[in-house]
Chains A and B, each alone.
Chain A
């Protein structure tokens, strides 16, 4: 069947242990690993319906609604059973199919207007339209596509067009670099020296405070009265000390007070020396 060809040309539904899965067993049993992949390949309820119709060689212009609805519901049930994320549209379609089926079963009133449409007509129209677009999509994809199948040629232009870019010469670059260096030298000295000294100053201060080996509460190391900048520098000092294992920071539990001390061994050594 033409559509079957289109299906298998595009992609197999799934691969179970390396074998492409193109056919579903008649009794609807699907090995669990294959099921999710298989059902994932449907773009929606229309896609699934088309598959069922084509697979069973159903005449799309005269769909046996009971049979199709039953098959469709079985699939949806399997999907639900597997706890797969079911797009709401699948359930909406289930309801629609059942409604069409019941309308077909109802006896037609005597004075039925001639314009009474086959309840399946809208569904058939939608199925055909979707099938057409699906095929159109595949044909579109087969057209040569830029970047995938060919590249646009763009030869490198040696000199930019004058209007677009200002002329830059090597001496200009040299001067720019020189002034950058000069500025960097100034700020480097200025910034790093000050910060480095500050942190080291605080590190020494903290170590002096902790001399003797006693525990101190973390908050004791900070003096809020001296302003935020000092707090920050103090904190950096603590971090640096901790990193160099010059102090020990402990906390007995969440939200408990934090204690700081010089590590026991080191304290002894320092004491011995002083």
Chain B
């Protein structure tokens, strides 16, 4: 039976060497279920604190826990890295925002909001990045595909859930606008749907 200190080291090793974020359920397997979830969480918090002075940090994401470099060091890493991270165009980002905040949406919905056709490349780019995927089809002529964001999207942006996205009402405020009081439900600003259910946007509760 491992001591807690040893268990913490095991957790640290597993997280450092894993290719994907590890959820509590996975981490428990390291100890063959002998250590409870709460204990593991406590150890993870300690681990996070242990690494607080390092260039690498332990974060809790949608899919689990992961070590990642701190953004402050990115400029240095870029000097020795061959690959350049992609910079996305406004079109891609606007499409992504619409999917994130209005999911599930069809391409037609996206085009309606943006006012222009959505090129298939944009969708492909986001799908290839693993940030959006098809979650179903709308019961309408043509049975258009419905898009939603993925867990990977949340992980890659350091979010634990869609609730952590910048809320739209705040955006409305910063633009000096009254919240769009459209006649249709689609115009109402809302918090993005919970990441577990792909429900239509709900009315924002007073924060």
Contacts and interface: CB of A to CB of B under 8 A. Distances in A.
Given A2-B175, A143-B157, A147-B85, A43 B182 contact: no
Given A133-B94, A133-B114, A140 B165 contact: yes
User: Main SS of chain B's interface residues?
Assistant: mixed
Given A144-B71, A152-B68, A129 B96 contact: no
Interface stretch (B11-19, B23-31, B32-40): B11-19
Nearest to A142: B166
Interface residues of B, number: 55
A44 B111 CA distance: 10
Contacts of A162: none
A173 interface: no
A44 B115 contact: yes
A156 B66 CA distance: 15
Given A87-B116, A137-B94, A149 B74 contact: yes
B98 interface: yes
Given A132-B172, A153-B67, 20 more contacts: A2-B175, A43-B90, A125-B183, A126-B112, A126-B113, A129-B113, A131-B175, A133-B94, A133-B97, A135-B171, A136-B168, A137-B96, A140-B97, A144-B71, A145-B156, A147-B86, A150-B70, A151-B74, A152-B67, A154-B19
A273 interface: no
Nearest to A121: B183
A130 B85 contact: no
Interface of B: 16-19, 56, 66-71, 74, 77, 83, 85-88, 90-91, 93-94, 96-98, 100-101, 112-117, 155-159, 165-166, 168, 171-172, 174-178, 180, 182-184, 186-187, 189
B168 A155 contact: no
A228 to B, nearest CB: 44
A93 interface: yes
A45 B112 CA distance: 12
Contacts of B68: 146, 150-153
B157 A145 contact: yes
Contact of B175 (A46, A135, A148): A135
29 contacts: A6-B175, A10-B90, A43-B91, A44-B114, A44-B116, A46-B114, A46-B116, A87-B116, A117-B183, A125-B187, A128-B187, A130-B115, A132-B171, A133-B97, A133-B113, A135-B175, A136-B101, A143-B158, A143-B159, A144-B71, A145-B156, A146-B68, A148-B86, A149-B74, A150-B70, A150-B71, A153-B56, A155-B16, A157-B17
A172 to B, nearest CB: 26
A1 B71 CA distance: 31
Contacts of A61: 178
B160 to A, nearest CB: 13
A82 interface: no
Give the size range of A's interface with the partner.
35 or more
A43 B94 contact: yes
Nearest to B77: A151
Interface string A1-42: 111001000100000000000000000000000000000000
A85 interface: no
A134 B101 CA distance: 12
A47 interface: yes
A140 B100 contact: yes
B66 A45 contact: no
Interface string A48-63: 0000000000001100
A139 interface: yes
B140 to A, nearest CB: 20
A138 to B, nearest CB: 7
Contacts of B98: 133
A196 interface: no
A154 B70 CA distance: 14
A133 B103 CA distance: 13
Contacts of B172: 132
B115 A47 contact: yes
A48 to B, nearest CB: 9
A141 interface: yes
Interface in A83-130: 87, 89, 93, 117, 121, 125-126, 128-130
A144 B157 contact: yes
B81 to A, nearest CB: 9
